[in-house]
Amino acid sequence: MSEEQLEKYNAARRDHYRVMGNRNSQTFRARLRVELGDEEYKRRVTKTKMRWTALNHERSLELRRNSCNAAIAANKFPCAVCKISLQSRLALDKHLKSKAHAEQERLSKGGKPKKPSEAALTARSIVARNRELALHSCKVCDKSFNNRGHLKKHLKSKKHAKRELALLAAAAASS
């Protein structure tokens, strides 16, 4: 580019930014919201964010983890009874209504731990027996499950299907 072309290009860029502003600036977003209307503006912003998240999946997960960790590290939403810190006000409210929190609160006031109910003990013994006997197991993947529902879910999974295909291919290759 010659000096004259470069100067012309820079002048055009300056004019463009003067008119358009920085796309991340509040004035640009406010002007766009007025031009498009609230509904269309929200739809476009959501679409843009979803596209960015799809293209930058790892980065979006990292940003999410960092913001959660920062909130927890800053101890913004602590539960003094359970000695934990949560990442949002909503999570803290949900925790405060939970049975686990109520139990910790009761124990902190000098209560004794509750004995497990008969139903809980029965359920635990059934799970232990199933685990020992491997009643709900997948021979292909060499995995056992606590109940039939988990096994059914596993049998529909991609991982199981992949292993099953690999076994069939190996069997076909050997014969």
pTM for this prediction = 0.35
Residues 48 and 8 in one domain: yes
Residue 131 has what pLDDT?
67
Length of the chain: 175
Residues 7 and 42 in one domain: yes
Instruction: List, for residues 129-147, the tens digit of each pLDDT value.
Output: 766 776 778 888 878 787 8
- The answer to whether position 126 is within a domain reads no
- The answer to whether position 34 is within a domain reads yes
Over 80: is that where the pLDDT of 16 sits? no
**What is the domain extent for residue 87?**
73-108
- The answer to whether position 125 is within a domain reads no
Distance CA 8, CA 38 (A): 37
Residue 86 has what pLDDT?
84
- The answer to whether position 67 is within a domain reads no
- Provide the domain count of the chain: 3
pLDDT above 90 as % of the chain? 12
Over 70: is that where the pLDDT of 54 sits? yes
- Mean pLDDT for the stretch of residues 126-131: 74
- Residues forming a β-bridge with 136: 145
- The answer to whether position 156 is within a domain reads yes
Residue 20 has what pLDDT?
63
- The answer to whether position 77 is within a domain reads yes
Instruction: List, for residues 62-75, the tens digit of each pLDDT value.
Output: 888 777 677 667 77
Which pair of structure tokens corresponds to residue 34? 């007025």
What is the identity of the amino acid at 165? L
- The answer to whether position 63 is within a domain reads no
Which pair of structure tokens corresponds to residue 103? 């139990």
- Mean pLDDT for the stretch of residues 119-124: 86
Residues 51 and 21 in one domain: yes
- The answer to whether position 123 is within a domain reads no
Residues 40 and 13 in one domain: yes
Residues 174 and 145 in one domain: yes
Instruction: List, for residues 98-118, the tens digit of each pLDDT value.
Output: 998 998 998 888 888 888 888
